[in-house]
Structure 1
Amino acid sequence: MATECNLSIKQAQFQPVKRNREEKIQQRYHWVQKWQQTDFDFKTNCVFPDESAFHINLKRGMAWSKKGTPAAVTAPTTKANATSILGAISATGLTNVSLKIPKCIKRGRLDVQLMAIV
């Protein structure tokens, strides 16, 4: 499959069925038309916030191994807290960036995660 058909196996990205339906495309088109008719200028008075979360010790989900043997991979821990980067950009450049690092507080048998902005 890989050499003759030029195919590779990847993790599937699922998309909703409605995404490419005609009525959804028309809704998007009308939304753009509505905003183009206003005097709103994205280049001068608009800020776009974004958040990205990641695990510090992220591990791959697949690994190579010899046939008949398990693909065992060593890692420092099996769980990682998510770290978030919050950013805001505009046409003039980067407006603001902050980092959210989770703190784990133990309460009896439950672990409660609190997000602290650094």
Structure 2
Amino acid sequence: MIEKPEERGLVTKVASDLNINYRTALRWWNSYKETEETKSSFTAKHNNEYLQGLLDEDPQLFSADDIMKSLTEQFEGFTISKSQLNNHLRNTMLITIQKRLFETEIRNLPENMETRFEWFMKWKGSNLDFTKNCVFIDEAGFHINMRNNWARSKKGSPAIVKRPKTRAITHTVIGAIYHGWLEDLKI
């Protein structure tokens, strides 16, 4: 196949600007010349908004298969490969896969915050010195039936998964242990 030099230069420039393999760009260009149809771009704003909403709603959508299934159901005639999807999530939308952190929804309720504040105010005036031989125990939650350890989140932020409650019984321990005795213990 013989090409015009100016055409070859244009395809080469566009391919290098977009960081696409030259042969791929050439195949797309030839396909466009034959059919004069363009492929729908995955990076369309409505696709990104839908994808962001999907992951905000359920950050545990770890599998690219689940995300692809949801996208193909939402957008008619939409196709994308797993590698393209993962590349788009990682490089364009800056969404990474991280080890998830569980937080129960009741953890930061005003009642629990008030309990912590009252406990702090109670021991604030005493001779308890947290800088010398004192260990504070705040909260310990145990989720026995844990399944998937990974979730997606924005780059640089933790993957926090909020649960209404954990399946196993959660024990909350609030107290302080001083080098001489146990100050307070609530279970």
Q: Do Structure 1 and Structure 2 share a fold, with TM-score over 0.5? A: no
Structure with bigger helix share is 2
Relative contact order (C-alpha < 8 Å, sep 6+): which is higher?
2
Q: Normalised by the size of structure 1, how large is the TM-score?
A: 0.36
Structure with bigger strand share is 1
